[in-house]
Structure 1
Amino acid sequence: MREHTAEEISAYARWLTQACQVAGLDAEQHGRTVLVIAADHFLSEEVTCQADGNGVLRWYWSWGKPITHLRDGTRILTTDEVDDLVAAIKNVVSLQVRRR
């Protein structure tokens, strides 16, 4: 199992922070954690980069579950799947208005 450096983890957090900002989300990096605030400032979420039991870096929701793909909840996303990570985060912090 390879140890990941703080600099490596911070670089992934910086990458995700920037991708969230490009997607229109207010995102702030705090070390290995990214705080994402929805455009309406009503909802927010903290996601944290850390190694799983096999030493693979993954992103975790604030409630401790790994972030999975939106359409395949059995597939845990890797740190390199930034577009899918942003989509999953946006899904959590965005309210969808139901039309009647």
Structure 2
Amino acid sequence: MSAFAKWLTQACQEAGLTAEQYGTRVRILAQCHFLTEEVECRPDTDGNLRFWWSWGKPIADRHDHTRLLTADEVDDLVVAIRHVVTIPVRRRP
């Protein structure tokens, strides 16, 4: 699981995100450092390795939310994570 976390950390860094590995967890900081997300690699109830959002849901494909991503679908995981940590912040008028 730590190897998958390392792989995801490196892929996030290559995609321009600041990512740090802590065992089976990966902390990703947006470029503005306003948004942070921590994902964890662990098995689901069927024993399949998945990355999980900090709010306890497995990461799904951005275009098909019914399809859960496996731990080795790193490119799709990075896209989903980037989508979460780069949400534009609304400023009050």
Question: Shared fold (TM-score greater than 0.5)?
Answer: yes
- What TM-score comes out, normalization by structure 1 length? 0.87
Percentage of identical aligned residues: 61
- What TM-score comes out, normalization by structure 2 length? 0.93
Moved over 4 A (4+): none
User: Does structure 1 residue 11 correspond to structure 2 residue 3?
Assistant: yes
For 2:28, the equivalent position in structure 1 comes to 36
Structure 1: 5+ residue runs without aligned partners? 1-8
Q: What secondary structure is seen at the aligned counterpart in 2 of 1:71?
A: coil
For 1:26, the equivalent position in structure 2 comes to 18
Match of 1:60 among 22, 36, 52: 52
Structure 2: 5+ residue runs without aligned partners? none
For 1:88, the equivalent position in structure 2 comes to 80
Q: CA RMSD in A?
A: 1.2
Question: Whole-Å Cα distance in 2 between the matches of residues 53 and 59 of structure 1?
Answer: 13
Aligned residue-pair number: 90
Alpha-carbon shift at residue 97 of structure 1 (Å): 7.1
